[in-house]
Structures are given as structure tokens and as C-alpha cells.
Amino acid sequence: MAAASATFAIGGLGVALATPFDEAGRVDFAGFAGLVDFVSAESGSGGSFRAAESGGADFLVVLGSTGEGATIEAGERRELVARAVEVSPGLPVVVGAGSNSTAQCVRFVAEAVDLGADGLLVVVPYYNKPTPDGLVSHFRAAAGAARGKPVIVYNVPGRTGLNLTPSVLSRLWEIPGIAAVKESSGNLAQIGEIGRTLPEGKILLSGDDALALPSVALGAEGLISVAANVLPRRCKAMLAAAFAGKRDEALRLHRQLLPFMDALFLESNPVPLKAALALVGLCGEGLRLPLTGASRSTRTRLAETLAAISEGRA
């Protein structure tokens, strides 16, 4: 892994943690702590699923797209970050701190740093569609507020309506504190160009589970994963095999996981993920409006893919 700062080497498996809610729609902090424990455990416990599948995370990501950060209230945000830092078993905690308002983004970044975050995930501003100059100014402000903590730029044009092109990213690399990019464009040609032109010391992370293996081949040093909320150990094994040059093993695990990875995006993330977490008993499947529960067909597909994996049929 390339060193992003003196305190946090970005790379390997990052888990984009879901935010559990209770039946009344409140943040389930106990469920959140349990999920952190599951994805980071050194060894499984508490039943066959946990024993087989838990552990593997190299760092935690809180309040990203998967964590429904857009609908988390200010007080909940502060407590989630504080709890993540408190319950993390020594793993770095990256906090989603993006906004389409630069001033709000700066406040989110500063608050997360004050609460003990090890890094920040800052999404490309959505809705506004800023120019390249606006993007540079936005990320410069965010990096300045991070006070030396590494900033991961998050490119997800399917959600933001704006693709961060490699030419604009090359300008962001010049900003002190911009350490990595989470690339979720789904465009392998673009991922390849980012990898080809990556400056020394900067880091490319895959933001798509299904593209993690080809992204590693193109220069990615890690994955920020949705699937790893449920199958962290297998996701970590796939990455480890890829980094070690064990092509056949990495490809076997990729093919095993791919149907589940695809099922997680049959509907908007994290709708299927919440259903999958409930299926395996990790937490409830409550969502914040305007998101609503997964369809019956999605639940069926999730159950089938998880059964195939656990039974060795995938």
C-alpha cells in the first residue's frame, strides 16, 4: 500500500458501512457497533455465518452513499462518527464529508477531524454541476479544512450528474492533502487512464465491487466495498489474491462473488444491502425516506446468491 500520510496508509479493503435504523427510524447505534465488529473481527464468532464470513476490513468508511449520509441529521452524524472512532478495533475511520455546498463540506470535514477521523471521503459536488475551476476550488477548501488528514476524492457520476475526468483529476492531485480517488464511474477506459497517469504517492481505489479485480490490474490499490458489509472475508481474500498475482484464485473468488455483487445494485444502494443484512441477521433493513424497502424479486435474488455462495455452488 502506498503511504498517504504519516498515520494512515490507504489501501486494501475499505468497507462502506451501512447505517442501521431501528423500527422507529432512529439510528441503531448498537446495530452499527455490531456491524463494525463483524467486518473487522480477527476471527468469527456467534454462529456459522459469522464464523465463516466475518473480518477482513483494512479501514472503515462511515456516512458515504451506502451509509445514507444524505439523510443523516447533524446530531446523528456527530454521534455516528464518534461511535465509529470509539468502537473501531484500531482500524482507520474515513468519514463521508461531501456536500454540494462548499461551506457545508468544509464544516463536515472540520467536524469529522475534530471527532477523530483518520481520513475524509469527499464526493464530487452534486446537482450544481460546477466547472473544473469550481471543482478545484471546492476540493482545495475541503483539503484545507482536513488539517493534514488525507482526503479521498469520490467520483460517482451516476449519483452526482458530473463525471470527474482524468484531466480535472490531474489538477486535484496538485492540492496538498488530496491523497486518493475512489473511482466509481464504471468506465474501465477511464480507470485505466487514471492508473496510467497516477502521480507517485497518489492512490486509486475501486468504488465498484464488480470492477475491483480489473481495477487492480489497472493500478488500483484497494476497494471501498458495499458487498463487504456481508462478505468481508471473501472480499478481502479476492483482493489479497489479486495483489499477490494469484490470477486463478482471484478470478475464482470474483466469479463466486459477482452474482451477489450484481444483486446489490438491482435497486438503488443501499436498498438491496439492507435486505441482505437482514437476511443474514446482521441488522434490520430500515431505510430513510425517500428510500423504501427492496422488492420481493430483489430479496429472492439476494437469498439465492447468498445460498449459492455459502453452499459452494457459486
Do the Cβ atoms of 147 and 120 come closer than 8 Å? no
Closest to 304 (Cα-Cα) out of 294, 293, 313: 313
Distance CA 13, CA 205 (A): 9
Catalytic member of 149, 182, 202, 274 = 182
Does 154 participate in catalysis according to the annotation?
Answer: yes
Catalytic member of 154, 202, 236, 274 = 154
| DSSP 8-state code for residue 27 | B
3-state SS string over 271-310?
A: HHHHHHHHHCCCCCCCCCCCCCCCCHHHHHHHHHHHHHHH
DSSP 55-92: ---SEEEESSTTTTGGG--HHHHHHHHHHHHHHSSS--
Distance CA 234, CA 36 (A): 16
Does 246 participate in catalysis according to the annotation?
Answer: no
Please give the positions annotated as active site.
154, 182
